[in-house]
Amino acid sequence: MPRLALLATGGTIAGTGDPQHYQAAVLDADTLFASVPALREIADWHIEQIFQLDSRDLQPGHWLQLAERISALQADPGIDGIVITHGTDTLEETAFALHLLLPLGKPVVLTAAMRPSDAPDADGPGNLLQAARVAATPAAAAHGVVVVASAHIIAGADLIKAHTSRVDALRCRAGSEPIGHVATEHINIRPALARSLRHALPWSTLGILPRVDILYGCAGVSADLPGLCATAGAQGLVLALSGHGSIPEAWRSGLQTLMEQGIAVVRATRITEGGVGNNCNEEDEIFGSLPAGILSPQQARVLLILALAANPRGDLRSLFRLAGGASPY
Ligand code: SIN
């Protein structure tokens, strides 16, 4: 039997209650594990509660805490794979951070649920069992961090939460496909393609993670928002802009001043498909902002936080080009 580790972090998968009395992160790791007896038939287990939170309350420091613990478990010869239970709300950020931080090693599988553990149609037990089966499959390791939900195996860098309430809310971003599926006891996983980004940022030496804010673009943006964020301590800004990521006139001069002061500015889009490429409005390029490529605003923020912490004077432009890939436009 393989030996797997279960790291529990909270979320609805460990939540209880009907919609009026719902609470995330109630069941502890041992209780969650005991609620799915079939897990014992798949592997021997090491079980750990690493933190117990509703994922909306996670901080960037939790990404590092998880990366550190997973990395230690990967180095442990007595462990063959790692399953992490997590809330769905910020799962895409944790999945992307772990994708950036962890080198390839043993299978690392995140899973979650949309229905609390005591709901009649709870999806957590099935997702946890399927995640365990994937973590016990050595071929999963070649894909890096993956997410298992509703029988789909999704690359950590491709995950989005695409619905606020449907049970199949966790999906692949537009233009990408699951890397595999779980068919009862059978794991269909395609061979790993070379992925564009395997940075293994030097997280063990990261100091304090900088504040990076997301500013949402819309008709009639308030001109003072970028300056307010900077005054409050932001060292980077990610703009979730309309259209193809072109900066509204009201923000231009303020952003230019902030960039001259060393604050990094990344242009992402609030539109779900297409991304922001290098060849949009020349003025945006000239004054030094960076295109996010296909990264969502929240993914771009994860990358900017980690990149600024790892190397404040580093070449952010090539890092974003590598991570965000080419946008089709
Ligand atoms: C959470 O993200 O922790 C709560 C919501 C969920 O898991 O679906």
Identify the three-state secondary structure at position 324: helix
The more confident residue out of 272 and 220 is 220
Whole-angstrom distance, CA of residue 87 vs CA of residue 81: 20
Domain spanning 208-324: CATH 3.40.640.10 = no
**Distance between alpha carbon 268 and the CA centroid of its chain, in Å?**
16
| Range name among 58-72, 187-201, 233-247 with the lowest pLDDT average | 187-201
Strands (E), 2-80: 3-10, 44-53
CB of 55 within 6 A of ligand 1: the answer is: yes
Please work out whether the CB of residue 87 comes within 6 Å of at least one atom of ligand 1: yes
- Whole-prediction pTM value? 0.92
Q: Identify the pLDDT of residue 196.
A: 45
Q: Matching CATH topology for 3-189 and 208-324?
A: yes
11 CA closest ligand 1 atom index: 3
Domain residue ranges of the chain, discontinuous segments joined by +:
3-189, 208-324
CATH architecture of 3-189: 3-Layer(aba) Sandwich (3.40)
Query: CA 122 from chain center: how many Å?
Result: 23
- Distance in angstroms (rounded) separating the CA atoms of residues 135 and 181: 13
Q: Is 105 exposed, middle or buried (0-12, 13-18, 19+ CB in 10 A)?
A: middle
Q: Is the model's pLDDT at 283 over the cut of 70?
A: no
Active site residue 12: yes
Atom of ligand 1 nearest to the CA of 56: 2
